[in-house]
A and B are shown apart, each in its own frame.
Chain A
């Protein structure tokens, strides 16, 4: 286009920084600019317009006092001297809103948050594509670049012995959960299912491997309480909603100048429709990945339901149709994790996640046994098979350590995590370490966080890095037990923890919403936006700064490493991993961990 002459007018006592930024961009684009000094009267400005004969006049006004009167007078005077119709006129500033500008007779108004590019687009008379060029996210493999080589010989040797124990123990064992997973793997053809072809042979066998109420569902068609199928009309409306939303979707990055951490949040309202609504909101406000959260009772029930089902309480049922619809709604660059980790459907959930195209799953034998309510023997055999399936479907998985929330000290939880990690490496899996960033019972009693929440969390990361070269994904969510019902506090604590994690160069984080501590109702969409915005602001604030290592961090990390090695030594000495779980070596009743009872007595010889 022909270079434009632009008059830049700071109609304000002092503020002209914004116009100077715009001037630089306009000059770089080949336009001619004239920047007037601040604090001219309206009459002086009009005189300059007549003198310079610009194509465009950009006025800035930061001070809100009297803004409407001054701007109206400017337009009136330009009109009176016959200059208004010869120029394109826009105004920008903190006090400006597009509606106000239009009302006053300007061609455009730019409020807070306007970019320099937007002003340049106005000068050039072309539509502005907000955040153009930043709309594409590419899925990243969190495990890429890690060697999984041990840096601590003593821990490596002990883990190897424990993995030998587990592999020998698991060799001839199975469970209903494993049988269902194998059936799902062998007889449930996802392509046939997608083509609406019957998978009768699968269901004939499957129902017999399920417990109540799943078996009743298959045999008699009775739904669990507060659950129903969607109607055709509802499904059509959902498809239309997803299509319309996609057309105008922009997916911003939160990390500013950093490459990582990727930011995940959870969904699981009970209703896949509401989940999809929440997911689209999360994506639009910058989440890199979303995590499927199933009902807690789902972990205690043998078998998975079937159909496109909504449920009126927290946690969305894992069914092929629910997962598939959610998957179809995701933006191409959004990572999708389906948690398997803790219950009686762990291996089958991994198979389903793999067949339906999930990017990640979640498995931990020790947490599932000690904090997740599942019998240790059952969780061990199901976890072993879940890892095998995760490896087969090329699904990396995080190894969560939420038993810390029960009161298990970090070093014991980490010993359990590393056992699952080592077993995974033996089975060809790609595990991701998931230490908690939390105000845990251990530190409440021990006082490690009396001064700050940073150093002990950092010590955990340092400890794990002393042991193995593996990806780290603090969770879940970061800042657990530091949130309150106040959305400002809750967003702030999430952002602070996110920034600490970023400054420790971790690979990903899971964040809560600002409703994390509110228990009176479901998490709301605005609460998800709150924390995503707060995290983005935190990342902008700290940029690429790193967290310096303090003497306390060093001391605590050494203590954690020593504690892990001691726990592993006791497991090796016990000679039986499953017995070690029952007997509390990886988290005892005194700590607050109780061996789960769901699925007790259901492990048998294959």
Chain B
């Protein structure tokens, strides 16, 4: 089976609303969440704190320019591509 992550063209964004008391806390929680999901190359693209918490979008780059792209591998029977 192909790994779905290899089919991410470049970056994977994680978006949510986190309940927290400040933007700083929201940022920390989101980075921690992304790392717990296994992503190392993580950045916060957008964060906005209002009373209940943060609207936040984190980004993990899976393929950066010049790297070897998993999505260029030809698909085989039974893999992600039908």
Task: Count chain A residues whose beta carbon lies closer than 8 angstroms to a beta carbon of B.
Answer: 32
Q: Which of B23-81 contact A (CB under 8 A)?
A: 43, 45-46, 48, 57, 59, 61, 63-66, 68-69, 71-75
* B6 interfacial by beta-carbon distance below 8 Å: no
**Complex Cα–Cα for A240 and B43 (A):** 32
| Cα–Cα distance between A240 and B81 once the two chains are bound (Å) | 14
In the assembly, what is the distance between CA of A238 and CA of B11, in Å? 19
Most buried by A among B11, B13, B73, B74: B11
Contact A271 B59 (CB under 8 A): no
Q: Are A518 and B13 in contact (CB under 8 A)?
A: no
- Given contacts A237-B73, A237-B74, A525-B10, A310 and B65 within 8 Å (CB-CB): yes
**A520 at interface by CB-CB < 8 Å:** yes
| Interface status of A274 (Cβ within 8 A of chain B) | yes
The answer to whether B68 touches A522 (Cβ under 8 A) is: no
Contact A524 B10 (CB under 8 A): yes
From B73, which residue of chain A is reached at the shortest CB distance?
A237
Report if A273-B69 is in contact (Cβ < 8 Å); known contacts: A522-B61, A524-B59. yes
A546 to chain B, nearest CB (A): 35
Residues of A within 8 A of B73 (CB): 237
Contact B72 A238, beta carbon cutoff 8 Å: yes
Q: Which residues of B contact A273 (CB under 8 A)?
A: 69, 72
B11-22 vs A, CB cutoff 8 Å, 1 = contact: the mask equals: 101000000000
Q: Do the beta carbons of B45 and A485 come within 8 Å of each other? A: yes
Other-chain residue from B43, B48, B65, B74 in contact with A274 (beta carbon distance below 8 A): B65
Q: Which of B43, B61, B66, B69 contacts A277 (CB 8 A)?
A: B69
Q: Is the CB of A524 within 8 A of B11?
A: yes
Complex CA distance for A14 and B66, rounded to whole angstroms: 55
Q: Is B5 an interface residue (CB 8 A)?
A: no
A521 to B10, CA, bound (A): 11
Question: Is the CB of A183 closer than 8 A to any CB of chain B?
Answer: no
- Which one of A234, A281, A311, A486 lies within 8 Å of B48 (CB-CB)? A486
Bound CA span A447–B59, Å = 36
Q: Enumerate chain B residues within 8 angstroms of A312, measured Cβ to Cβ.
A: 64-66
Cα distance A486–B68 when bound, in Å? 29
B57 touches A274 (CB 8 A): no
Closest-by-CB residue of B relative to A489 is B46
CA distance A431 to B61 in the complex (A): 39
Would you call A241 an interface residue if the criterion is a C-beta within 8 Å of the partner chain's C-beta atoms? yes
B-contact bits for A217-261, CB 8 A (1 contact / 0 none): 000000000101000001001101100100000000000000000
- CB-nearest residue of chain A relative to B9? A525
Query: What does the 1/0 interface line of A508-530 toward B look like (CB < 8 Å)?
Result: 00000001001011101110000
CB proximity of B39 to chain A, nearest CB, Å: 13
Task: Give CA–CA (A205, B66) in the complex, Å.
Answer: 31
A278 to B71, CA, bound (A): 13
- CB pair B9 A310 closer than 8 Å: no
Interface pair B72/A521, CB less than 8 Å apart? no
A234, A244, A484, A486 interface centre (most CB from chain B within 10 Å): A486
- A173 to B65 CA separation, bound complex (whole angstroms): 40
Quote the shortest CB–CB distance from A241 to chain B (angstroms). Answer: 5
Shortest Cβ distance from residue A462 to the other chain B in the assembled complex, whole angstroms = 36
Contact A520 B43 (CB under 8 A): yes
CB pair B43 A521 closer than 8 Å: yes
**In the complex, A312 Cα to B48 Cα: how many Å?**
31
CB-CB < 8 A to A237: which residues of B?
Answer: 72-74
With beta carbons under 8 angstroms apart, the residue of B46, B61, B65, B66 that contacts A485 is B46
**A-side contacts of B65, CB under 8 Å:** 269-271, 274, 310-313, 522
A526 CA to B13 CA, complexed, in Å? 9
Chain A 476-495 per-residue mask, 1 if CB under 8 angstroms from chain B, else 0: 00000000111100000000
In the complex, A392→B9 CA distance in Å? 39
B66 in contact with A226 (CB, 8 Å):
yes
Q: How far is the CA of A274 from the CA of B70 in the complex (A)?
A: 12
Instruction: For the complex formed, measure the closest distance between the CB of A582 and the CB atoms of chain B, giving whole angstroms.
Output: 38
Rounded to whole angstroms, the CA-CA distance of A313 and B66 in the bound complex is: 8
- Complex Cα–Cα for A484 and B48 (A): 11
Nearest chain-B residue to A309 (Cβ)? B66
Distance A311 CA – B67 CA, assembled complex (angstroms):
10
A394 to B81, CA, bound (A): 42
Judging by beta carbons under 8 Å apart, are B11 and A234 in contact?
Answer: no
Q: Which of A264-323 touch B at CB < 8 Å?
A: 269-271, 273-274, 277-278, 281, 310-313
With the chains together, A240 CA to B73 CA distance in Å? 9
A278 vs B61: C-alpha distance when bound (angstroms): 15
Contact B66 A310 (CB under 8 A): yes
| Docked pose: A462 CA to B65 CA in angstroms | 41
Please measure, in the bound complex, the distance between the C-alpha atom of A50 and the C-alpha atom of B63, giving whole angstroms. Answer: 57
Query: In the assembled complex, which residues on chain B have CB atoms less than 8 Å from the CB atom of A228?
Result: 66
State A486–B54 Cα separation when bound (angstroms): 13
Beyond contacts A271-B65, A518-B46: 18 other A-B pairs, Cβ-Cβ < 8 A, are A226-B66, A234-B68, A238-B72, A244-B74, A244-B75, A269-B65, A271-B66, A274-B10, A278-B9, A310-B65, A310-B66, A312-B66, A486-B57, A487-B46, A521-B11, A522-B10, A524-B10, A525-B10
A-B contact pairs, 24 of them (CB 8 A): A228-B66, A237-B72, A237-B73, A269-B10, A274-B63, A310-B66, A485-B45, A485-B46, A486-B46, A486-B57, A487-B57, A518-B46, A520-B45, A521-B43, A521-B59, A521-B61, A522-B10, A522-B65, A524-B9, A524-B11, A524-B59, A525-B10, A526-B11, A526-B13
Residues of B in contact with A (beta carbons under 8 Å apart): 9-11, 13, 43, 45-46, 48, 57, 59, 61, 63-66, 68-69, 71-75
